[in-house]
Structure 1
Amino acid sequence: MSTGLIDLESSSPGQLPILERRSIQRKMKLTKAARYLGAMLLFVLTAWILLLAFPKRQHYISITHDFGIGFDLSPSYATVAVSYPNGTIQPIARVEGDEVYRKMMVRLSLSSSQHLHQPYQDVGEAIGDSARQLVRDTRKKLGLPSSRDVATLCNMLRALRDQASSFVGEPVSAAAISVPHLAALYGEDLYDAFEYLSLVYVEFFPFYDFRPIPAAIAAYAGNGLGLCADYRDAAACEEEELHISSLFALAVGYTHTGLTTSQAHVSSAYYLEETPTLENMHLGYDARCGFDSYWEAVRQYLERPMVTSPVQRNISMVVLFGDAVEKPEFREVLKQAIGVIGGEPEIVDHQPEFSAAKGTAELAKRAIYRQMKGLNITSESEL
């Protein structure tokens, strides 16, 4: 009976050598493949090490204009404005965010999206974030945005820059940016996006690297508050801003897709303390349909910064910004929410869709003037 096994003793004389040759050939192929794979890995590793060791390409960019350009990012759209040296501040355009942008902003509003980032609090954070930074540096050396989020931000900022350049009639080389207080929207990503687009990132907080302007203080400045009258007179300007009254405000950003709110301590437009800060990307105006208790949820959310603060403060101002704050239903709910603190705080809400971009543009203009004066640079418009 046949067992299906090869009987080595009864096999034909030429059968065993054939099996051995096939086994040897398979081993040789595997060895060759392993060597090839090893060589490829060694090549990739060597190329990667050389890439990281190669000096980063420097972006030699400078500010070429004396007007200020301000970008403001909202959860579903962004706006841009310009402030001219003659005092004119004009909104330029609104750019709608695509699906990728909107999903990114929702994700960045979640505390679960937070991670270590620059600027670091200590050496331990820098070491803990080294792997992520290595990936970012590698992408930069390859000529790519440092992360997917940075790539998404680049698309939006490029559109804002192009709108601004078309409006002012010349290339825009520098801008400032304001953002809502989202949990994981970090200044380093915005800075990398500016760098990728060869834009000067105008900064205002020298002790907080890459810190963008909070939308609340940008909207405050966009309403003409917290700023000296003549920014060209440095001494008088500093003295005037030192004596701007300090007050507490309820800052509310309300759009069709999200709601942010905080209790803000403000004085000059270069100072802001927000606590607590809240954001909900599911309480925008468009969410009211099919949500029976929507307006009650909005009212409670508006009240929270005022009633949950560890220190009860006198709220004397309400700063509103966003494309939905003028909705009559919202205004009625806001009135009810303010009622819990009593009094009649001042409502600051001029051009709420563009107020943050306008304030950012005005701050950018003043910062550019100081930089140009410090570097003895004369813009073409002053020649």
Structure 2
Amino acid sequence: MPRSRNMARFLVPALLFLFLLPFLWSFFPTRSQAPQDHDPARPANFGVGFDLAPTYGTAAVSYPNGTVRSIIKIDGDASYSEMMARLSLYSSQHLHRPYNYAEGVADLPRRLLRDMRMLLGLPASGDVYTLSKMIKKLHTAAELLIGQPVASAEASIPDFACALYGEDIHEAFNYLGLNFYQFRNWDSYDFMYSSNGAHANYDPHVCSNFTEPDHCWKYTPNPGDPLAGVPWLLLVSYGYTYLESSAYLAVYPIVQTPAPFNSTLGYDALQDALNEEEYWERFRQYISSSMGPYLRNVTRLVLTGDAAHIPKFRHVLRDVTDSIWEHELEVFDSEPVFAAARGGAILTMKEIWHRNHPGDDTNMVQEL
């Protein structure tokens, strides 16, 4: 009996310590809480961007002289596509870091489980593992093309992935031993939506040639109206499984919260439609109704998505825009599949340049 009591005296505290260990560990800095820069002795001379699209992933690299190269498009497996579809549903949303007031206590059981898995060297969750598999493939392809180790990168996610959070992206990078380049240092779980990268790929106000920084555009706000002259965009993303269309003011970050989308108007749905004209009529109505009160202000059209090359899609979209605006929209559509990854690479190169050249006040991108 005394022996059993002695064992209990040690066993209960040990179990309690193991249970609380992940919670205690969360108070110590990790890569997702304290991002690390490149080794100062070997500053990066390129920026890498990944885009985690609904059914595939892409990678691109940007160099200081303005050269941007698309690296690879990798189709996701069934688990990846299922995950992205599920995390685009509002019903999949849950508490997550960073927390609002008092949310941390309610989310403690989930965080304890994730932290325990990470302490054991496992991915924080099944979704993090699925993300890490895609990121690993993109990372391997990037290193092969660049010919150098890629220690850091940026990754964007679909605008409508409302239940895919910054903590998932950061923990996938941590699991792979990669550093996530974030642009808002005050947000420990910063991430970027795909439309931000897509517009950065085309935006003439984003400096891409850092060998001639004097030629980079410098933004000077108008004292009376700091948004004067900032264009409005119509962002249309057309994929095989979705259609997204929204109007935004072109101030970074353009997309800050999840955007609505339609999962019944992707190109695959057309193949199953009994009436093709009825499909395109619903398409027209969706595009026309997606701009809200900002319809007349739009001057630019940005196209993305793996089905954006379909001639019929472009023809019908042109009919819609011509019927709405008397002026012709400036169209950016040369890299619909790789646009987000290319823009992410450009923004990462911009961030690397600033970190390696402190004191350079060149405003590489329009930020307010």
Provide the TM-score with structure 2 as the length reference. Answer: 0.81
Amino acid at match of 2:54: P
Q: Does the 8 Å CA contact 2:237/2:308 hold for their aligned counterparts?
A: yes
Aligned partners of 1:170 and 1:250: how far apart in 2? Answer: 37
**Partners in 1 of 2:130 and 2:84 — Cα distance?**
10
| Structure 1 CA distance for aligned equivalents of residues 344 and 167 of structure 2 | 18
| Residue type at the aligned position of 2:354 | R
Q: Give the alignment partner of residue 218 of structure 2, picking from 239, 242, 255.
A: 239
Residue 279 of structure 2 corresponds to 294
- Structure possessing the higher relative contact order (Cα contacts under 8 Å, 6 or more residues apart): 2
Letter of the 2:312 counterpart: E
Q: Deviations over 1:158-185 (max 9, x none)?
A: 0000000011111110101122212112
The answer to whether the 8 A contact 1:251-1:261 is kept is yes
Query: Of 321, 326, 331, which residue of structure 1 is paired with 2:304?
Result: 321
Letter in 1 for 2:19: W
Cα distance change of structure 1 residues 83 and 132 upon mapping to structure 2, 3 Å threshold: same
Q: Deviations over 1:136-159 (max 9, x none)?
A: 111111111111111110000000
User: In the alignment, residue 254 of structure 1 is paired with which amino acid?
Assistant: Y
Provide the secondary structure at the position in 2 that maps to 1:177: strand
Find the counterpart in structure 2 of residue 66 from structure 1: 45
Alpha-carbon offset, residue 113 of structure 1: 0.9
1: CA distance, partners of 2:24 / 2:257: 43
> Quick one: which of 63, 71, 83 aligns to 1:92?
71
**CA shift for structure 1 position 101:** 0.4
Identify the residue that residue 249 of structure 1 maps to in structure 2.
233
Structure-2 residue corresponding to 1:131: 109
**For residues 57 and 208 of structure 1, what CA distance do their matches in structure 2 show?**
14
Pick the aligned partner of 1:361 from 336, 345, 350: 345
Where 1:289 maps in the other structure, the secondary structure is helix
Per the alignment, in what secondary structure is the counterpart of residue 136 of structure 2?
helix
Give 2:246's aligned residue. 262
Q: Which of residues 239, 259, 262 in structure 2 aligns to 1:277?
A: 259
Counterpart residue number, 1:198 = 177
Work out the CA distance in 2 between the residues paired with 1:87 and 1:230: 4
Correspondence 1:370 to 2:354 = yes
Structure 2: which 5+ residue stretches go unaligned?
Answer: 1-6, 223-227, 360-368
CA distance in 2, matches of 1:172, 1:276: 29
Q: How does 1:1-383 map to 2 (within 5 A)?
A: 47-50=18-21, 53=24, 62-63=37-38, 64=42, 65-121=44-100, 123-181=101-159, 182-228=161-207, 231=210, 239-240=218-219, 245-267=229-251, 270-273=252-255, 277-291=259-273, 292=275, 293-306=278-291, 309-310=292-293, 312-343=295-326, 344-374=328-358
Amino acid at match of 1:333: V
Which has the greater radius of gyration?
1
CA contact (8 A) 2:162 2:258 kept: no
Letter of the 1:367 counterpart: E
Question: For residues 192 and 148 of structure 1, what CA distance do their matches in structure 2 show?
Answer: 12
Residue 44 and residue 370 in structure 1: after superposition, are their counterparts in 2 closer, same or farther (change >3 A)?
Answer: same
Moved more, 134-143 or 159-168: 134-143
Q: Which residue of 1 aligns with 2:364?
A: none
Q: For residues 52 and 210 of structure 1, what CA distance do their matches in structure 2 show?
A: 18
Residues 189/44 of structure 1: CA separation in 2 closer, same or farther (3 Å cut): same
For the residue of structure 2 that corresponds to 1:279, the secondary structure is coil
Query: Contact conserved, 1:228 with 1:240, CA < 8 A, in 2?
Result: no
Deviation at 1:280, TM superposition (A): 2.6
| Matches of 1:273 and 1:169, distance apart in 2 | 33
Change (3 A) 1:224 1:265: closer
Q: 2:133, 2:88 → 1: CA distance?
A: 20
Structure 1, residues 70-121: CA drift from partner, whole Å, max 9, x if none? 0011110010000011211000000110000000111111111111222223
1: distance between equivalents of 2:301 and 2:346?
Answer: 21
Alignment correspondent of 1:23: none
Percent identity over paired residues: 38
Q: CA deviation at 1:257?
A: 2.1
Q: Is the 8 A contact 2:234 2:247 kept in 1?
A: yes
1:47-82 residue CA offsets vs partner (Å, 9 max, x unmatched): 434565568695696425220000011110010000
CA RMSD of aligned residues (A): 3.1
Cα deviations across residues 333-373 of structure 1 (Å, max 9, x unaligned)?
21233245322211111211111111110111111121223
Distance (Å, rounded) in 2 between the aligned partners of 1:153 and 1:51:
22
Ranges in structure 1 where 5+ consecutive residues have no aligned partner: 1-35, 376-383
Specify whether residues 67 and 311 from structure 1 end up closer, same or farther in structure 2 by C-alpha distance, changes over 3 A only: closer
Opposite residue 119 of structure 1, the aligned amino acid is P
- Is the contact between residue 193 and residue 255 of structure 2 (CA under 8 Å) also seen in structure 1? no
